Structure 1
Amino acid sequence: MPDAPINAKELKRIEALKSYNILDTATEKDYDEITELAAAICGTPIALISFIDKDRQWFKSAKGVDVSETDRLYSFCAHAIKKPNELMQVEDAHADSRFKNNPLVTGAPHITFYAGMPLVDDKGHALGSLCVIDSITKKLNDTQRKGLEILASQVVDKLILRKHLITLESANQRVKRLNDLLKEKEGEAMQIIKNTPLAMALHTGKEMVIRFGNDLMLKAWGKTEAVFGLPFNMALPELAALNFPLTMQRCYYTGESYSQTEAHMSYVHNGVLREFYYNYSFTPLKSADGTVWGLLNTALDVTELVKNRLAIERAEEQLRVAVQSANLGTWFIDANTREFIPSIRLKEIFGFNPDDAMPYEAALNQIPEVYKQTVTQAVEDAISTGKPYDIEYPVVGFHDGMTRWVRATGKMFPGDETHQPNLSGTMLDITDRKLEEQRKQDFIGIVSHELKSPLTSLKGYLQILEAKAKKLTDVSLLHLTSKALSQSNKMNALITGFLDVARLGDTKIKLNRTTFDMADLVKNSESELLLNVSTHTVIYAPVKHTLVHADQDKIEQVVINFINNAIKYSPDYTTIKVDCVTKGSNAFVTVKDEGMGISEKDRLRVFERFYRAESKDINHISGFGIGLYICQEIIRGHGGKIGVDSQLGKGSTFWFEIPLADAD
C-alpha cells in the first residue's frame, strides 16, 4: 500500500503531540476504561487509543490486542487524522484499495472493519484517534458514532488536563527549585557575611531594628544574638549615647551613605570602658522603586593599627627630639638608586652650606684617602649583607677646610609596599672627644717618658747598692735593696704600660715576632714571680712543647699581668693556677684564682681602657684600668682572642689564645 500521507503541518502536529508527554507512558486506568466502553458501545472486540508519531503509531490503551505500537506505514489512524473533524469508517478493508494489501488486514489481527474518531486538541492538532476494529464487515449506527465521538472528546479532555497538571507540576517544581536555590543562595550569603573579616549588621525600620549581625559585629558590640529583633537604642545603649541612631536615621531618610575613617570612640564593652578606632559606614538598602528598607552597617576594627601608628609617630617624634638634642646628623641612602639624602646637620659636619647639594660622592670626597676605603666598604657591606656598622673617621670640611672626627652608624632596612630598601644612620661630631683623648695620650707619653729616665738611674743605684750589700754580706741591707729593686721594677712596668697606651693611641705599638716555646715562656714567668710572691700559692701546670710565632716579651707581659691581677684581687694564702694547653690550632693560656669574682656588668667592660669596676671591696686596690686593655690589644695584634669567665664570690679565670706556629 502507499505510504500514509504526511500533511504540511505535520511537524507542528508532532511537536504538539510531544508537548503532552503521553508517548511511551505507562498504562492508565482512565484510558483503559474508555477503550472498554468504546468496544462495548460499538460491539467490537478491539478498541484503541492511538497516537501518530513520526514513524509509528503508539497505543496508550489497547483493548483486544497485545501490542503497544505498529509501523505508521500500516496505520489506519494515519489516514483518519487527515480529516480531523470527521469519523473515518472502513466497512470492509478487503474492498478498500488503501488497505486491502495491508499486513494488518491480510494477517493478524485480520482487520476488516475500522472506525476511528480523530483526537483533536483545542489548538486543532490531530494527535491520533480513538478507534474500534473488528474482523467482520460492519457499520456503526448513529448512536455508536455519537458515542465514539463523545469518548474521543473525553480522551482529548484528559490529555489537556494531563498537560495542565504536568505544566502545573513543572511550575511547582520550578518554584521549589527556585525556592531551594534562593535558600541555598541566602545560606551562602549568610555564610559569607558570617565569615567575612568585616563586621556587618542589618538594621530595618525607623527604629533601626537589628535584624542580623555577624560574629565580628557582635564582638565589636560586646553582645550576643539576644539583641536580634531589638531597636538599636534598646539593644545598644552604650553606642546610642554616641549619637549613632541619629546618623543612621539620617541615612535612612535621605538614602545617602555615611562613612568614617579611624573614628575614635570610647564606650563600655563587656562591662569595661574601652577605647576603639573604627573604619565604619552605613549604606542604605533600597527596593526596586528606590524606597529605603534598611541599612547595612559595616565596621573594621583598626584600634591596634592606629595605636601602633600613633606609637610609631610618638617614637619618631622622640627620636627627632633626641637627634636634635644630641646634635646628630642623619642620612638616608636608597639601596637601589644610591640616592643620598643628608640632613642639614650632616651637611654642616661635612662643611657644606644648608642649601648646597651634597650627593654621596661629594660626601666621600671629604673623607681622607686612608679612611675612604673603610667607609665605602662598610656602606656596601651593610647594603649587600645587612650588617650594621659603627665606625669612627675624620672628615675635612668642604668650605672651611676644618678636620672633624665623626662617629658614623648605619643599618639596612628592608623595603615594603610603600618604601624601597634603604640604608640610614646617624653621625656625631666627636672632635672634642678625640682631641681630649689625644691630649691624654700625649700627657701620658710625656710623663711616662720623663719618669723613665730618673727611674732608670734609681734602679742603677739600687743595683750598685745591692752588689755592695752582697760583698759586705749585710743581710739586712741586701733584703732592703731587693725590696727596693722589686718596687722599682713594678714602677717600671707601670710606666711601660702608660707608654704602651700612648703608643696604642697612635697605632705605634710594635710586635717583634719570633718562634718560641710557650713552655719556656711559662717557666720564665714562674721564675720571676716566685721570687716576689709570698702571699699566694701559684701552681704552674706542666706545659708541653708548644711553638708559637709571636712577640715573646708582649705575651709574657700578658701572662704576668693576669697573674698579678689574680694576686691583687684574691685573698691572701689562696691558690692561683696557671695552665697552657693546645686547643685546636691555638695555644690556650688560663690563669684561675679563688678571688671575689666579677659581676656580669663588669665582665662586659673589664677590657675597656681606663675602666675599673666599682666595688667597696676593691676601692683600696691601686690601678688605672689600663693593664687588661693593653693585654687585649696585644692579643688582638696576634690575631688571637681574650676573655674572662667569672662568678661573684667564686673566683675568675682569665684566658687568651693565639695561633700555633704551624697554623700561623
Structure 2
Amino acid sequence: MQTELLPLNDTLNALKGDLLVAIERFELVAKATRDVIWDWDLLKGTFWWSSGMQERFGYRPDELESGPGSWFDRIHAEDQERVIRNIYLIIEKEESNWSDFYRFRRSDGSYANVHDRGYTIQINGKPVRMVGSMIDITDQLRSEQAHKESEENLKFALQAARLGTWNMDPINKVVQFDDHCRALYGMPSDEQLNYDSLVQFIHYQDRERVRLAVAQALDNKSRSAYDIRYRALGASDKILRWLHCNGKAYFTEEGMPYRFTGIMRDVTHEISSQEKVLWADQQAAMTIEGSGAGSFLIKLGTNEIIHSPTLARIITGKEDVNISRDVFVLHVHPEDILLRLAAYAKAIETGELRYEARFVWNDQSIHWVRVIGNYLYDSTGHPISISGIVMDITDRIESEHKLRESEERLRTLVEQAPVATALFVGEDMIIDIPNEAMLKLWGKGDAVIGMPLRQALPELEGQPFLSILKNVYEKGEAHSDKSARGDIMIDGKLETFYYDYTYKPLCNSDGEIYAILNMALDVTEQVKSRQELERSEERYRQLANELEQRVEQRTAELHQANAELVNSNNNLQQFAYAASHDMQEPLRKIQSFGSRLQITYAGALDENGVFMLDRIQDASKRMSLMIDDLLAYSRLTTRNDEFRPVQLTQIVKGVLADLEISIQEQETDIHVGTLPVVWGNSSQLTQLMQNLLSNAIKYKKPDVPSKINISWHEVMPAELKVLPTSLPDHRYLCLEIADNGIGFDEKHLDKIFQMFQRLHGRSEFSGSGIGLALCKKVVQNHHGYITAKSEPGKGSTFLVYLPQPK
C-alpha cells in the first residue's frame, strides 16, 4: 500500500511549490475582480479563504473554521442540501467544473445572493483539490427586480388611466393598436390596421384635419407634436366617439421618420360637458400610480395656486414646501423656457395646455415633467382659471433614449457588418435595416425595406427558407446551414446561388420574439469550384483507370521481351521492401511504369495525357519522400542509456558540409558561434539540425541575401517552466536558429509542428510536411521543448531547449 502511495506523494510534493504560487495569484485575482477566492484540500479536509471574505461578507480570518464547515454552515438552509449534494456529485464523478447560485450568510446575519464556481484539481484522475470564486450578485438581482416592477407599474398606470397605446410605421403605414385602442375604434379587423383604412373610420368633417396633423408630425422640418381631438365611427359597433390622441414621431439622422407612436383616450363625455370632464380628469390623474401625479388649480385673477403635495415634489423635489405659480418658471430648465412659453401661447388659442420639459430640483438634479392643463372660462368666454396635472416622466424619457440608442446601435452594427445582414420583424417577416451587402445578395434595391419578405422575394415560395424562418420565430431556436442552395431572381432571371447563413431570434424585455436576425455569406464560387473539382477528380480517376488498363495491356504484350528486366525489378522490389517498407513497393512500381511511359510513349499521348502522367510522377516522388520521412520519424526512439555528451559544434559542422550545395545555391551567409556540449543522441541531434537549417535556407525571401545565425544561452529557472517535462538534476540551454526569411504568422505556431501541415503550397516550396514534426519528436525524446517566434516578412527564430550534461 505504501508503494502505491509513493507516486502520489511525489506528485503532491512537486505541486506544492506551484500551489503556493497559485495562492498568490488567487489573491491578486480576488483584489482585481472583487471575487472571494477559496481553496479546499480534499485530502486534508482543510479550507482556505482569500481576504475578500472579510471585505464582502465581514468575516475575519480568525472567525472561520479550517474545514469545509466554514462554507457549508453559512449556506442558507433552503439551499444547503442542494448545493452540497451537487458539489459532492462533481467530486464523486471526477468531473472538472461546478457552478451554482445560492444564498450565503454575512457576518451580520443577512444573506447575500452569490454566484459560486469551482474547479477540481486532479492527480491520476482523482480530485485532490477544489478551487473557486464567489461573486456577490445581490445588487444586480435587486436592480433587475426594480426594473421589472417599473415596467409593470407603467403598464398598470396606462390601464388605470384608460389610455390606449398605438404605433405606426411611417414607411409601410402599418398601425399597431393595443386592446384599448382597438375597442375605441370599434374592434377593426387585422386587415384594417393600416393608416389608409383607419382614416376611413374618422368622421368626414375631421378627416382632413387629422391627415394634416399627421403630415406635420411626420415632416422633418416642422416635427410638430401630434395632439388632436376628433370623432371616429366604430368599425364594428358603429358608435361615434370623441377621441383624444397624443403622439410623437422619431426621425433618423438623415431626417427620415422611422416611428410614430402615442396614446389615445375616449373624451366623448369631456366634449359634452367640459367642466365635468375636466374635474373627472383631475381626479383620475391624482390616482395614477397611487398619487404619482400632482394636481394644480391656478386662479388667473390673483395668480393663487392650489396644489397637491405631489405636485410640489415633482417640481421641486420636496412635498412640504410652499410654492407659488412662479414655481413653473423658477424651476424649469433654462433650455426649455422657450418651449414652455410656446405651449402657453398655443393654450391661449386652443384652451389646452400640454408640454414636456426638464425641471431642476432644489438638489440640482434634473427631471422630465409632463404638464397637462385646461383653461376654464366664464359665461362670456373669458378665462378665469387653469387646472391640470403634472407627471414625472423621467423614467419614460430615459427608457425612450435607451431604446433609441439601442436601435441606433443595432442599425449601425447591421450596416457595418462585414457580411450580408438584415432584420425580419414580426410574423410577416417585415424587412428592416438590410445592409448594402444583403441588398446586393438579393439583387434588390432599398425599395424592399418595410415589405414582407414573401412579397419582396416571391421566388422564395417553394424553397425551404420561409418555413425555416417561421419555425425559428415560433420555437425561438436559431438555425444555420452551410452551402444551402437558393434560387434568386436577378434582373428578371432566376439564378442559383449557395449560401452559408444563420437565422437568430431576437427577444424583447418580456422574452417574446419580435424579430429574426439574418446573416448570410455567398459561397457560390466555392461550391461551384468544389463541384468542378469533384468532377475533375472523377475524370482523373477514369483516365487513370484507362491508363492503368493500357499499361497492363502493353505490359502483357512486352512481358516475354522484358522477362529479364521484370526479374531484375522483382529483386529490386524485394530489396526495397526489406530496406524501407511495404509502402515503397507500389510507389516504385508507379514511378517505374511512369518513367517508361514518358520515355517510350510520350509521343503517343496528347497534351492532357502528358500532363497527367507528369502529375502521377510528381505525386509518387512526394509520396516516396514522405515515406522516407515517416520511416525516419518512426525510428526516433531513444533510451536514456543511449544519451551521452554531444558536441553541438561538430554536429553543426557536419550538417553544414552536407548542405554545402544548397548554401551556395541560395547564397546563404551562416554565422555559427562556439556551441556547447549537450546531453543527447548524436544521430537524432544531427537530424534535428539538418531539418532546422534546411528550412532556414529554403524559406528565404526572393532577391534578399539570406542570413542565418546560430547562438545559445543558459536557461534560467523561471524560463525552464515552459518545458512540459525535464530531466532532473540537469541544467538546460536554449539553442536559437534565426533567419531573415519569409517568416509566418504566429497564430499558425501549433500547426507547423504537426504532421503533414504546410503553410505554403508545394508549388512555392518543396517538402513532405514532416520535417518540423520530426524536429519536435527529437526534442521530446531529449526531454526538451521547441517553439518559434516569427512575423510575416521579418524572418523566424526557432528556440530549442536541450539538457546539458550533469
Q: TM-score range by the shorter chain?
A: 0.3 to 0.5
TM-score by length of 2: 0.29
Bigger CA radius of gyration: 1
TM-score by length of 1: 0.34
